[in-house]
A and B are shown apart, each in its own frame.
Chain A
Amino acid sequence: MSTAEYRAQEGTIDPGRIAERARPQIVERGLRARPGGWLGWITSTDHKKIGVMYLIATFMFFVVGGVEALMMRLQLGAAQNTIMDGQTYNALVSLHGTTMVFLFVVPVLAGFGNYLVPLMIGARDMAFPRLNALSLWLFVFGGIVFYTSLFFTPPEAGWTSYAPLSDDAFLPTGGIDAWIFLVHLTGLSSLIGAINFVATIHNMRPKGMGFGRMPLFVWTILIYAYLLILALPAIAAAVTMLLTDRHFGTGFFDPTAGGDPLLWQHLFWFFGHPEVYILILPAMGIVSEVLPVFSRKPIFGYSFIAYSGVAIGFLSFTVWAHHMFATGLGDFANGAFATGSFLIGVPTGVKIFNWIGTMWGGSLRFKTAMLFAVGFIAMFIIGGISGVSLASPPVDFQQTDTYYVVAHIHYVLFGGAIMGMFAGMYYWWPKMFGRFLDEGLGKVHFWLTMVGFNLAFFPMHWLGTEGMPRRIYTYFPDMGWNFWNMMSSVGAYILGISVMVLVGNMIYAYRRPREEMPDNPWDAATLEWATTSPPPAHNFDAVPVVYSRYPLWEDRHPVEGGQPAVIAAAAPHTSIDERSHPADTQVAVGEGESNAHLATVEADHGEHEAGHAFHLPAPTIFPMILAFGLLLIAFALLFSPPILKVTFLITGVIYFVVAIYGWVKQISE
């Protein structure tokens, strides 16, 4: 669809806002020449390139994880199927779960965050661009070290790797070690990334953007980052103990050595439960961005949505043991953790009500992004309600570890996080790549997703209540599970086709001749739409000053309480009226109009800017080398032949040391 067609379709939208938003001339003073081509990508410290690399890598892992799921559904489609044996099936379970959690959903949200957070808060880049590159490469190499296990024996203990099954006495193969290194490397990656987000969001917002004016996606990324920072160390400690159990003769989780398998579960879920909110919160943020734009209305109850996210963040640390009701915690602990788990339903419900409130009375345009956002809400309600039943210990005794839980997790993670991610993809694709994803194909994608998803996962509720435990590779035909397993498999393959449609859509969008993309094709409200599509390396020529929650909708949303103090301080000669576009402007506004406040700030920050141009960090290869060194060290622990071990260890340490040295030297220059 061309821009012209798009505009024609949106006939009622004020053409002044569709028009290219005023932007000052892009100047690149004093920038060093940057390497181009693939070298330009792997040495990049640009948050946008890193974000795109994150998205590409995670999408590849998504496809791999999806193929694993389809293989499992093939086996489960019929009773006593003999396509694979238990060992292969368990490997697939572990690969699928781990891939989707650690290699897809967490990093894909980091990818969105990386690309969008600096743009949304009007910053040039993340606070620590080199560390940003490091977290990308740690994640990529974490994925690689995990998937090398395909060449020997993949892990077979599920994504939770419960001890003592994951101990060397029961699974002496390297698969679990690969899993451990995956958790170490991606955990380090997420920790560094999260610190980066926190520093960026706390500190690099523009003038005028208090916490109350931050886009809701930035809010959720901030909470995501806090949760990662505070939850990851628990699993880091746990997997380190597992590693020493497996290789250095300790027995932290070995009951015959005085250890305790429940310690693993407690530490794992102390991380694991905040993790599920880590997975879902930024998707909620995406939905909170998409809904207002396509409803033509601001979000309903901004502070309720923001604060309910914070509340979910706090509560998520108090409910971990609801994954362990069946281990026999005792009535008191069961009751306490059940209460917390019920409680967490309140802020979640509030968000849903507020989203519906946002759409209520709006003028809803069902672009694909909007469809996915609505799909998110509809599906997340189901996941949320099945979650309430799981929070009740007695009901949980029946439903935990059955297909009911499988249905629940997929309703919140696929129906929730991944639907939200798709919404974000269709929404920000024009900004990232300067092209639209095709709407027609997008709608096919959406409806196939909805049908396939519900057909695949809704019957799992019934399978679970009929007593089908999860993670079994075969079942007897007389259990009454045949029909719905068949349906579920059919649904899974429909879902597979829908992802192929998406891939087709991406290829189609990539191959279409490029056209000029307006800065703000959806007539959205947040700052990322104030720059070009795709944005220049330094994002904004001048750091914008923010006067409201919806900087690009100021003509429709006069700032409350009249003249904000900021305007008086930073731009005494501008007023709201001057900054809004005249309604009849049809063509692109020239440089002269230049959005008065942008120009003002340029002057304001003149002395800062003049000296070091835009102060963009130089490209560097050292983060990648450092991560590569850690990959080699992980290999050294993974491979048993001594010669390989020593070689990998020595090279790894050399790479590591060289990278640190080079990095420090580069900074201090």
Chain B
Amino acid sequence: MASPCQIDRRHLAALLALGALLGLLAAAPAAFADILTPEDGGGSPPAERTDVLYEITLWMALPIFLLVEGVLIYSLVKHRFRRGAPEPAQVRGNTRLEIGWTVGAAAILVVLTVITLAFLPGIRDPEAGGAQRAGAVAVAATDQPDVPPGGPSLNVRVVGQQYIWRYDYPGPGRLFAYHRMVVPTDTTITLDITSQDVQHSFWIPELFGKADAVPGHINDMWFKVTEEGVYRGNCAELCGENHAQMIGEVEAMSPDRYRAWADRQRSDIRTAARALADQRRRMQAQQGAGEGSLLRQ
């Protein structure tokens, strides 16, 4: 067993190492918050505002973190056992001090709560333009007369299933897409999110936070992209063995390109549906009604 003197020095070194580690840890989150500082997020308000809120939280928490860990480490070093030192004063508490830090902690958290509650509606509820979501009119449906006040909006129904996302667009004619949601830029996109089997969670980190897709329920989320681009996100709720492969994408393109895409997609769907109907008729003719019922929807 080493002599007490050496133990002391070892302790000191260890404590300093611990301090350095903690300092490093504290400095790191600011540098690494990629999703929460979405510099390439296309300016989607929910993500941007979440980022602001996160940074407020972080900058309030960081000094507290450093202070508390600092005091902890300081007291470990300063008040470590020294040979021949008298027994420490038997302090049992200090009411004023304790009430002080209770109130202090409460005050900080109250401030944080107020800030959070102030931010919450702006992140959760769509901006003007998405407000009348129920009657929202797709910009793509150019034949529709009234665009709601406050700017264009589009309502997309997002349906999760093992292990892919489907996006149903409103408007005349069937328009839907799998895996990649195409949206026009500068448009408030409101999402009605649900699932048809197990629970999923729809999440494009650079555009908006998670919205769980719960079967039997309709959840909502919104976003608005200003820059063209493709944004990717994983399903975030364990949904079965291929959960890791359930990826969703949002592609933002200018309204003109979007309209072109929508028209092409609609006509593709029509063509495919006709081909399917033909095939069904042929099979029914060949095999008779009994087995044909297998194809009944």
Judge A-B direct contact (beta carbons within 8 Å).
Answer: yes
Q: List residues of A whose CB falls within 8 A of some B CB.
A: 1, 5, 9, 11-12, 85-87, 90, 93, 156-158, 162, 164-165, 170, 255-256, 259-262, 295-304, 324, 326-328, 331, 334-335, 338-339, 342-343, 345-346, 349-350, 352-354, 356-357, 359-366, 374, 377-378, 381-382, 385, 388-389, 392-398, 400-402, 440, 447, 450, 454, 458, 461-462, 465-475, 480, 556-557
Within 8 A of A (CB), among B79-97: 79-85, 87-94, 97
- Report the bound CA distance from A124 to B233 in whole Å: 59
Contact A465 B36 (CB under 8 A): yes
Residues of A within 8 A of B106 (CB): 343, 346
Query: What is the distance, in angstroms, from B107's C-beta to the closest C-beta of chain A?
Result: 10
Residues of A within 8 A of B102 (CB): 304, 346, 350
What are 26 A-B pairs at a CB distance below 8 A?
A: A12-B83, A12-B87, A90-B241, A157-B238, A165-B199, A261-B217, A262-B217, A300-B91, A326-B209, A326-B236, A338-B117, A356-B71, A359-B72, A393-B120, A398-B35, A398-B50, A398-B210, A447-B14, A450-B18, A458-B25, A462-B34, A465-B29, A466-B34, A469-B234, A556-B87, A556-B90
| Known pairs A345-B105, A401-B210, A465-B32; A12 contacts B241 (CB<8 A) | no
Contact B124 A334 (CB under 8 A): yes
B22 closest partner in A (C-beta): A378
Interface membership of B216, Cβ < 8 A: yes
Contact B105 A349 (CB under 8 A): yes
| Known pairs A334-B120, A360-B75; A11 contacts B83 (CB<8 A) | yes
Contact A9 B4 (CB under 8 A): yes
- Report the bound CA distance from A528 to B82 in whole Å: 28
| Known pairs A164-B199, A338-B117, A466-B32; A343 contacts B68 (CB<8 A) | no
B60 closest partner in A (C-beta): A388
Contact B120 A398 (CB under 8 A): no
Query: What is the distance, in angstroms, from B75's C-beta to the closest C-beta of chain A?
Result: 5
Contact A346 B105 (CB under 8 A): yes
Query: What is the distance, in angstroms, from A123's C-beta to the closest C-beta of chain B?
Result: 26
Interface centre among B25, B116, B162 (most CB of A within 10 A): B116
Interface membership of B125, Cβ < 8 A: yes
| Known pairs A298-B90, A382-B65, A469-B236; A326 contacts B212 (CB<8 A) | yes
Interface membership of B276, Cβ < 8 A: no
A86 closest partner in B (C-beta): B241
| Known pairs A170-B197, A461-B29; A93 contacts B87 (CB<8 A) | no
**Partner pick for A328 among B32, B85, B212, CB 8 A cutoff:** B212
Contact code string B15-52 (vs A, CB < 8 Å = 1, else 0): 00010011001001100111110000000001101100
Query: What is the distance, in angstroms, from A83's C-beta to the closest C-beta of chain B?
Result: 14
Interface membership of B198, Cβ < 8 A: yes
Interface membership of B121, Cβ < 8 A: yes
| Known pairs A300-B93, A388-B57; A381 contacts B68 (CB<8 A) | yes
Decide if the interface of chain A is mainly helix, strand, loop or mixed: helix
**Partner pick for B109 among A300, A346, A396, CB 8 A cutoff:** A346
Residues of B within 8 A of A87 (CB): 241
A475 closest partner in B (C-beta): B244
**Partner pick for A469 among B1, B75, B120, B203, CB 8 A cutoff:** B203
Query: What is the distance, in angstroms, from A97's C-beta to the closest C-beta of chain B?
Result: 11
Interface membership of B281, Cβ < 8 A: no
**Partner pick for A465 among B33, B116, B233, CB 8 A cutoff:** B33
Interface centre among A296, A302, A475 (most CB of B within 10 A): A296
Contact B238 A261 (CB under 8 A): no
Contact code string B152-172 (vs A, CB < 8 Å = 1, else 0): 000000000010000000000
Contact A338 B235 (CB under 8 A): no
Residues of A within 8 A of B11 (CB): 366
**Partner pick for A359 among B21, B75, B119, B245, CB 8 A cutoff:** B75
Interface membership of B242, Cβ < 8 A: yes
| Known pairs A346-B106, A359-B75, A359-B76; A327 contacts B244 (CB<8 A) | no
- Report the bound CA distance from A447 to B80 in whole Å: 18
**Partner pick for B91 among A297, A343, A381, A389, CB 8 A cutoff:** A297
**Partner pick for A461 among B32, B64, B208, B235, CB 8 A cutoff:** B32
Interface membership of B272, Cβ < 8 A: no
| Known pairs A164-B197, A262-B217, A363-B85; A394 contacts B124 (CB<8 A) | yes
Query: What is the distance, in angstroms, from B236's C-beta to the closest C-beta of chain A?
Result: 4
A170 closest partner in B (C-beta): B198
Contact B113 A338 (CB under 8 A): yes
Residues of A within 8 A of B211 (CB): 326, 328, 397
B89 closest partner in A (C-beta): A361
Contact B215 A164 (CB under 8 A): yes
| Known pairs A295-B88, A326-B211; A162 contacts B237 (CB<8 A) | yes
B72 closest partner in A (C-beta): A356
**Partner pick for B88 among A299, A361, A366, CB 8 A cutoff:** A361
- Report the bound CA distance from A261 to B29 in whole Å: 35
Query: What is the distance, in angstroms, from A486's C-beta to the closest C-beta of chain B?
Result: 16
Leading 10 A-B pairs by shortest Cβ distance: A397-B209, A255-B216, A472-B244, A86-B241, A328-B219, A462-B32, A301-B93, A401-B236, A349-B105, A467-B205
- Report the bound CA distance from A356 to B93 in whole Å: 12
Interface membership of B240, Cβ < 8 A: yes
Contact A12 B85 (CB under 8 A): yes
Contact A397 B50 (CB under 8 A): yes
- Report the bound CA distance from A349 to B101 in whole Å: 9
| Known pairs A327-B212, A381-B68, A466-B35; A350 contacts B93 (CB<8 A) | no
B247 closest partner in A (C-beta): A476
Residues of B within 8 A of A473 (CB): 243-244
- Report the bound CA distance from A9 to B47 in whole Å: 58
Interface membership of B258, Cβ < 8 A: no
**Partner pick for B238 among A9, A93, A303, A339, CB 8 A cutoff:** A93
**Partner pick for A385 among B65, B119, B217, CB 8 A cutoff:** B65
- Report the bound CA distance from A324 to B85 in whole Å: 53
